[in-house]
């Protein structure tokens, strides 16, 4: 389950810890000391940086994949055009590369009735 936090969440936590330090550094939150809270904040900052790095890597990988897919789609289109030009639009070879043979296409149906003139 994804939980959203404000963009400046870690900065807000840092400000609270700074205030805690100014008020009373020996104050404890249950068993949690100021030093432990600062360590938690540092760990969260490190994890946040790792997540940002992974997001950048993910974006780069998606861009690379999309570029490769576009290249493959262009290749397939060009191959179909080549086979259609060499073997014809109604050939079995054109059908083998994924083209729809002319004889297999549905005929167009006119919309509305044709007016008869007598």
Count other Cβ atoms within 10 Å, centred on residue 14: 15
Domain count across the chain: 1
Whether residue 107 is contained in a domain is answered as: no
Whether residue 19 is contained in a domain is answered as: yes
Whether residue 111 is contained in a domain is answered as: no
Domain membership of residue 64 as a residue range? 10-99
Query: How confident is residue 3, by pLDDT bands cut at 50, 70 and 90?
Result: confident
Whether residue 112 is contained in a domain is answered as: no
Strand partners, 29: 32
pTM: 0.66
Asked whether the beta carbons of 84 and 99 are under 8 A apart, the reply is yes
Rounded average pLDDT over 75-91: 96
Q: How far is CA 47 from CA 35, 41, 50, 97, in A?
A: 18, 10, 5, 48
Whether residue 116 is contained in a domain is answered as: no
Q: What is the reported pLDDT for 116?
A: 58
């Amino acid at each position: 389950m994804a939980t959203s936090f404000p963009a400046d969440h870690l900065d807000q936590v840092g400000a609270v810890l700074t205030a805690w330090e100014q008020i009373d550094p020996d104050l404890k939150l249950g068993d949690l000391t100021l030093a432990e809270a600062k360590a938690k904040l540092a760990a969260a900052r490190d994890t946040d940086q790792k997540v940002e790095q992974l997001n950048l890597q993910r974006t780069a990988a998606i861009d690379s994949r999309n570029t490769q897919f576009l290249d493959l789609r262009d290749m397939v289109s060009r191959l179909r055009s080549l086979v259609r030009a060499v073997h014809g639009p109604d050939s079995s070879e054109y059908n083998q590369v994924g083209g729809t043979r002319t004889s297999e296409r549905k005929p167009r149906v006119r919309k509305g009735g044709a007016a008869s003139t007598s």
